[in-house]
Structure formats: C-alpha cells, structure tokens
Structure 1
Amino acid sequence: MTVLKTRFIREDNPDIIGIGGDVNFSNFIDSDMLMDISDYQGLDSIKDAYKEIDKALEFVPEDGVYAVPYVANAAGILYNRELFKEHGWQIPTTWDEFMSLCQEIQDAGIQPLYFGFKDTWTCLAPWNSIAVDLAPADVCRQVNQGNATFEKEYKEVADRMLELIQYGPDDPFAYDYNGACTAFAKGEAAMYPIGSYAIPQIQSVNPDMDIDSFVTPASNDPSENKLNSGVDLQFCVMNDCENKEAAYEVLDFLLEDENVQTYLDDQKAVPCKEGDFTLPATLDGMKEYIEEGKMADYQDHYYPTEMAVDAQIQTFLMKKDKDAFLKKFDTDWTRYNRDIIRKVQDYEEKNGEGEN
C-alpha cells in the first residue's frame, strides 16, 4: 500500500490495482480515484454478500460499483483436528461452551490457545471475530451518525477479550505472529484465534498438520454467531485508465474458474465468485456459513490507520482497564474521523436521513 500511494503521489497510476476491502478502499472511493465499473458483466457472478460488504465501506453512499471482490479470508479459531479427535472434544456453538472447552483442554494438561500478541496487529484477529457477533455490523457508521458510542457497543467485546487471554500462555505478548504460528504448528496449543491467511504460514512449518477451523462463538445465542469474513483481494480500475475494455479483459481472465481455484488452493482462501469451487479442508468447519452467506466484515476495515486500534487493544489487554480503553476509543475516533463524520452528517441532513 505504501508503494501504491507513492505511485499515486507521482501520478504514476496503474490501470488496475489489487487491494483489500478496507479503509484504504474507502479513502480511494472518497477521493474519486476509482472508476465506476457498474457495466462490467463479471460482477453478475460475484456473491451478493461480498458486494454488500464493499458497498458498506463507502463513507457516504455512492452511485456505482468500484471493485470486483475476488477472494476473501475467514477469521475464527483454527484448531488441531487430530488432537480434537484424540480427546473427543466437541466444537462449541456458544461462548459458554467455548470457555468450558478451553477449561477442559487446560485440565488435560494442554495449552488451549496461542496468540502472537507481541505483534500488535494480531490482537485484531480475535477482536474482529468476537465483535461481528456482539456489535452491530454498521457500528462505525452509527457512531459517525452520532447514534451510538463504542463505549456502549464494544463493552461486551472487551469483556470477552479479557476472558479469552486467560487460556493463553502466561505471557500472551511474548510471541510474535511467526512464533505463534510455529508454536501451533508444533502442537504446543490446541487452538489459535487467527484468520485463514495464517494457514500457509503454519503449514510451511508442519505441512502434514491436520488443521480445521470454526466460527468464534462469541454469543450465547448460536443464531447470532457469524463468520468473520472480509474481502482479502479485489480488483479496481483507476479512473484515469485509458482503455477500459482492455482492463475488463484482464478482469475476465482473473475471474476464470480455473484461475480462481488456483488462488484458493494456494492461499486457502474463500471465493467471492459464485460457482462450484473446492474449498480447502482447513475451512470445513466454516463451510455452512460460507454457503449460506452468514458473515460480516472485519470491523477494523473501518478503523483509520492513524488511530492504531491494534496497539490500543494490546495496551488494554496488558493493563486491563476497560473503561479507559473504551473512553479513548471514542475520543480518538472523533479526533481521527472528524472530516468523515462531518461529511456523513452533511449527507444525511441533505438526504433527510439525520434521524435514522
């Protein structure tokens, strides 16, 4: 992203960019840098759930479509399938069941969870997969509208994070991402709360490891639990692209089933395209949610980079001062989103949505 933004500053724009569905995408739309590709026929083959996730990333509703979602990832709990079979452990469907499972694993003399919280960004993995079950999917938009606060909506999410780290190593901040992947690969923990993107890293250490995953059951109402899945890679055509037809030909090539499947096999990813694709066995426990489209985007995809939410979560988990953490979250949100908040509220005032 740094290289890409440097090219933008130099006015050396590519015709097509491959980026994630996150706040950078939101900023590019807001800056009118991306072409409206509503007329691209390949969009008809993209799952509605991922098109809706992209649409929700717009700061204010825009006419048009600005990306072709390609593949997604899924965050939840990776687990050692062989270890679970050996001990007869059952996949939990509620938070209470999950905590009971962690205790059962610990009582068996096995480390329940590994984290890798030395790298601040890894703190976002469990945070996101818990938040999608307990906080509104559009909580950031509601805060921008002045209709909600993080102090209220994230209170239970913060509580769950504190419960979770009790079942990790004595010092959950001692290992970084690579260290946690290696430890899990070597069987030093039964579970690892991270996204599917970690699987290639884990299997580079232990290619024969039998990994499966399940959705983080943050709610005690199973019907409220959702798969945390966001657009990991999507393709956008830049507004100043001089040959839209050629760009569409490239997108057609990328969307050929054979090429999508190659990417899925290599990266253990989830297709954004409809079709009869073979999902990796490491996502067996999430297939039902993927097929039903029962998913919600990563909430950190809406967080401004300047706010450094990952570091804030890490500090919170170290100090365990929930009130201070949530208060700072609201204060910093207003500070770093001032222009966006004003833009959202101006839009809604003009469109008669200020009271919604």
Structure 2
Amino acid sequence: MRKRGKAAACLMITALTAIAAVLPGCQPPDRKGKIEIELVQYKPEAVEVFEMLEEKFNASHDNIHLTIESPNDAMTILKTRFIREDAPDIIGIGGDINYPNFLDSEMLMDISDYRGLADINPSYLTIDKQLEFIPMNGTYAVPYVANAAGVLYNRAMFQENGWEIPETWEEFKALCDTIQAAGIQPLYFGFKDTWNCLAPWNAIAVDLAPADVCSRVNRGETTFTEQYREVAERMLELLPYGQKDPFSYGYNDACTAFARGQSAMFTIGSYAVPQIKSVNPDMDIDTFVLPASDNAQENVLNSGIDLQFSVMADCPEKEAAYEVLDFLLADENVQAYLDNQNAVPCKNGDFKLPSMLDGVADYIKEGKMVDYQDHHYPTEMAVDALIQTYLIQKDTDAFLAGFDQDWQRYNRDLIAKVQRYEEEHPDTGAEGGTNQ
C-alpha cells in the first residue's frame, strides 16, 4: 500500500498483534500480491450500485483489488485528504466548478492515451474542455453519466387533455394558459430551497445566453447585464403559472405536489424522478426541453456531467487504474448504473434510457446539449440565493448589476489569471477552450 495513513495503520496493527512474522506485509491474505486501487466517488445515493460494481470487479480480477468509497460530503473529505497527501487513485466527481479547481491545482493525470475516451459522446468531452479556466493540453476526466433538465410533465394528463409539447416560448406560455383555463395549475415550484431556482434558470439560459458567457465575462468581453437580461425576464414570466407563494414550498413539497397531480408540469431535472416516484410509483413522467427561444431550431437540452472519473496525477498504477475504468465503462455496467440512478449515459451505445427521457432522447443522440450555466459559478457567490431574491423583489436592473458586481468580487483572482493568459497568448482568443 502506498498511502501514508494506511501504511501507518498497518504498522500499528502489526505491532499490537505481534504477528508480523505470520502476516508478511500489511495486506490481508486474500489481497497478497494484488495491486490496490482506491476510488472515492461523491454520490452517496449511488452507494448500492457501486457496492455491486466493486464486488463484481473483485470477483473477476485476480491481479487488482478495487475499493470504492461513497462517503457523505465526499468533496470535503477529498480536499482534506489532498492536503494530507493521501489521495485515492481515482476520483468520481461532477462536471462542475470543483473539476477545474482540481485541474488548476495540477492534481489530475492527463489520460489522453486512454482508449476508452473514443467511446464517449463528444458533446460531453467538449463540456469538460469548456469547464477549464484556461486552455489545457490533454484530457483529464472520463465523463460517465449525465443528467438532463427541462420540464417534467404528467404524460397521462397531457394525453387525456390533448395538450401538445411546445417548441417556442410563446407556445409554452400558451400551453400554460390553456392548462390554467382547464382549472389545473401548470407548474409547481420549490423555491424555498434556493437551489431549485437554478433548474429553470439553467434551462432558459442554455437557449438564450452564450454557452461561454462566463469565459467572455472573465476575458472582459461582455457583462451579465448584457447577456442575462432576457433570461431574467423570462424567469419572472414563469411565476404566474405556479402556486401563489412558491417561496414557502421546498423541493420535497414540489415533488410531492407534482406526484399527486397538483400541477401538470415541474421545471426540474431528471434527478427528481426517484423522489417523485417515491410518492407515486405508477406516475407516467416524460420530459421536454424548456423552449426559451422564439425559434424552435435554437432549442437545446440542458445536460451536464453528473459523474466522471479522473485518475490522480500521483497514481503509481496507471494501467491498473485504466483497467478499472474499462470495467466501469463496460456496457452492462453502464446500464446497471443508468437503471439504478435514472441517468443519461455519456458513452455512445445502444443503451436503454429511462422512460422519463423519451421526449429528449433525440437531443441526446444528436448531441444537441449544453452544460448547466451554474456549473461555472463559484460556490461562494451563492447565485441560487441571488435568483431567489430577484424573483421576490422583481428588480431586473438591480439583479443584473448585482450579478456583475458579485462576479468580479468572487472571481477576482481567476479573472486576473485568465486575462494574464490572454495577454501572453494573444492568438488563442475565444477559441482557447476556457470555461463556459
């Protein structure tokens, strides 16, 4: 074992039990001679499927022993372990702001030579490149599964009333008016939980704002006041179609209300389906893209990487780590994860998608997907709370001005770094692959 903490623990056990002569080395007898690979992943809700995969891997590999850990608050644990120089071999994290932070710290291995990358949907590889603060040569993560956000809808209710799926913003509002006229509430919001405000925000922004708006702001080329005005205004247009006080109800309330038929639609991601089905297991749910644009051709699916694997830069057993990745990417193992977590595969292949993604399956196959804008927002800025406050106060000018001001405040060092890079590499410009 190479880990300093584990080595110390083994030495202590040996000393206390005084059987060093009986157990040569610090590995249990059944692991003697095996390469140890440790994977720490950040989704505790997926612990069941990862326990199955760990057991399956170890039963089928004689030369490698895999340990998969799925702790609560994994990101805090990982950061603590990094400080202690006790990193695992592989980490499983989301395609959010944590990924470029780790990448910027030079903690991840360039895995450009990993052959499994050829099977990954190029759209998700592009999303990862766009997360980079400054352009990086190489590839540092294998996108595994994604999720999708738009509008969940009660398919049975739609079929019963003959409602058609809208393809433009005006058609969407007309649908909401029709549903209201039928005495049914169109939408239900869980805006008491501030993060719920990000679901419709992201779904609208992917149609109306540049995908690389954050990069452009960092380079000093534009402002959020210029790029987010229409996004903000359309967020306000949603409110009349929900319950009277959306800020008194949280995520669980909204899931329960939608499950009980108290609204025809719910502006949330596919990740909410298990919670909804826990209330109404027989509910027939489908998804459509929230059509924020007035041009149907501009519609894209809001989809981001929910889980991806990175090999740590100091992993001494690169080939063994690649063998673990090969196992995880085997079609049957990807399908097992999809079935367990209602996820979207980042790997190309003939996978069976959850039925609640029927309405967006073509977007996934065609790669018409754009990442969540909030994956590029610094956590400290608390953009979800800013949006909630805006929806309460309804002052668009103040909200946008505050967004720009807070962005400069919380990204001061990053902006300086990006602009310094631009000065040193004047020929790269906007094509350099900086974060969206």
Q: Greater RCO between the two (CA within 8 Å, min separation 6)?
A: 1
Q: Does 1:323 align with 2:397?
A: yes
2:84 match: 10
Q: Does 1:203 align with 2:273?
A: no
Whole-Å separation in 1 of the counterparts to 2:83 and 2:106 = 14
2:300 match: 226
Post-superposition offset of 1:132: 0.2
Q: Deviations over 1:76-95 (max 9, x none)?
A: 00000000011100100000
The 5-angstrom pairing of residues 87-236 of structure 1 reads: 87-236=161-310
Whole-Å separation in 1 of the counterparts to 2:371 and 2:397 = 26
Whole-Å separation in 2 of the counterparts to 1:98 and 1:162 = 14
2:349 match: 275
Whole-Å separation in 2 of the counterparts to 1:20 and 1:232 = 5
SS in 1 for 2:268: strand
Post-superposition offset of 1:11: 2.2
Relative to structure 2, which stretch is displaced further, 172-181 or 88-97?
Answer: 172-181
The 8 Å contact of residues 95 and 220 in structure 1, kept in 2 or not, is answered as yes
Whole-Å separation in 1 of the counterparts to 2:207 and 2:99 = 24
Post-superposition offset of 1:354: 7.8
Q: Does 1:80 align with 2:80?
A: no
1:313 match: 387
Post-superposition offset of 1:246: 1.1
1:44 match: 118
Whole-Å separation in 1 of the counterparts to 2:254 and 2:79 = 31
The 8 Å contact of residues 145 and 354 in structure 1, kept in 2 or not, is answered as no
Whole-Å separation in 2 of the counterparts to 1:173 and 1:98 = 23
| One-letter code aligned to 1:32 | E
| One-letter code aligned to 2:331 | D
Q: Does 1:348 align with 2:422?
A: yes
Whole-Å separation in 2 of the counterparts to 1:35 and 1:172 = 45
| One-letter code aligned to 2:202 | N
Relative to structure 2, which stretch is displaced further, 130-139 or 10-19?
Answer: 10-19
Post-superposition offset of 1:268: 1.4
Going from structure 1 to structure 2, the CA distance change for 1:250 and 1:354 (only over 3 Å counts) comes to: closer
5+ residue gaps, structure 2, are: 1-74, 431-436
2:316 match: 242
| One-letter code aligned to 1:33 | M
The 8 Å contact of residues 92 and 217 in structure 1, kept in 2 or not, is answered as yes
Post-superposition offset of 1:9: 2.3
The 8 Å contact of residues 345 and 354 in structure 1, kept in 2 or not, is answered as no
The count of residues paired between Structure 1 and Structure 2 equals 356
| One-letter code aligned to 1:270 | V
SS in 1 for 2:150: strand
Post-superposition offset of 1:352: 1.1
2:143 match: 69
| One-letter code aligned to 1:194 | I
SS in 2 for 1:352: coil
**TM-score, with structure 1 as normaliser:** 0.98
SS in 2 for 1:173: helix
| One-letter code aligned to 2:87 | N
| One-letter code aligned to 2:268 | I
2:22 match: none
Whole-Å separation in 1 of the counterparts to 2:208 and 2:87 = 40
Post-superposition offset of 1:2: 1.9
SS in 2 for 1:156: helix
Q: Does 1:257 align with 2:331?
A: yes
SS in 1 for 2:125: helix
Counterpart selection for 1:293 from 367, 372, 379: 367
The 8 Å contact of residues 307 and 332 in structure 1, kept in 2 or not, is answered as yes
Going from structure 1 to structure 2, the CA distance change for 1:315 and 1:206 (only over 3 Å counts) comes to: same
| One-letter code aligned to 2:304 | G
Post-superposition offset of 1:355: 6.5
Whole-Å separation in 2 of the counterparts to 1:85 and 1:36 = 49
Whole-Å separation in 2 of the counterparts to 1:148 and 1:354 = 18
Query: What fraction of aligned residue pairs are identical, expressed as a percent?
Result: 71
Whole-Å separation in 2 of the counterparts to 1:8 and 1:324 = 40
**TM-score, with structure 2 as normaliser:** 0.81
The 8 Å contact of residues 304 and 337 in structure 1, kept in 2 or not, is answered as yes
Whole-Å separation in 1 of the counterparts to 2:321 and 2:273 = 32
| One-letter code aligned to 2:239 | I
SS in 1 for 2:159: helix
2:49 match: none
| One-letter code aligned to 1:91 | I
Whole-Å separation in 1 of the counterparts to 2:234 and 2:207 = 11
Q: Deviations over 1:42-68 (max 9, x none)?
A: 111101000000000000000110100
Post-superposition offset of 1:353: 4.1
CA-atom RMSD in angstroms: 1.0
Greater Rg by CA: 2
Post-superposition offset of 1:267: 1.4
Post-superposition offset of 1:10: 2.5
Q: Deviations over 1:174-228 (max 9, x none)?
A: 1111111111111111000000011111111111000000001000101111100
The 8 Å contact of residues 77 and 191 in structure 1, kept in 2 or not, is answered as yes
SS in 2 for 1:276: coil
Post-superposition offset of 1:300: 0.4
Whole-Å separation in 1 of the counterparts to 2:291 and 2:102 = 34
| One-letter code aligned to 1:152 | E
